[in-house]
Structure 1
């Protein structure tokens, strides 16, 4: 039986780092389709089926590991930002002016971290990306 699918490891061109290979749904669809369309005179050998199930199990574990790593990274980032409370910082305001003040509040808005700075001119709320320096 011939196939138009390139063999594993034959190179697939430029893929995004966010999606390399098959996802779990893709893998299950492929496995079910393969079983439905197999030649009855040459059914899938048990060792091939076990190898595919092992691959699926490995895929599940890698996906779970990646999700855990993302959660860990997020929590670590938030903990690092919280250590800036009551520290002197320099931030770049919307006017490109550098303002020196003290961090009085940190907020987490969806994917963005906001820092509230108390400075001689009042209160300024800026994104973490506006931070220029942090000082004890």
Structure 2
């Protein structure tokens, strides 16, 4: 996604969700598909050396946090949805130094024949 955030990372791509985020009433009523690409920066030295999940961060746990945040609060803007997910990741995983999230909305209510609308947020832990 980018080179400005370097080092070890966990990557989850094409996480698919159905949600009711969006500005328009139809989006809140009917819902639509969303896809999330996520990179989280953290030191993976311990699990690399020990080969034990107990010394690292479970991808499944990361997914669960993303899913809970995605489903937890309806937002009008993808930017706000992304920030909610980032905040949840930072709260759940103290070892995470940075997050890059891309949220894609293939059925955005704009007149396009093919493609998708998306936002990408880059955040470092404060």
Shorter-chain TM range is under 0.3
* Structure of greater relative contact order (alpha carbons < 8 Å, 6+ residues apart): 2
Tell me which protein shows more helix as a share of its residues.
1
Length-normalised TM-score, structure 2: 0.27
Length-normalised TM-score, structure 1: 0.26
Larger Rg: 1
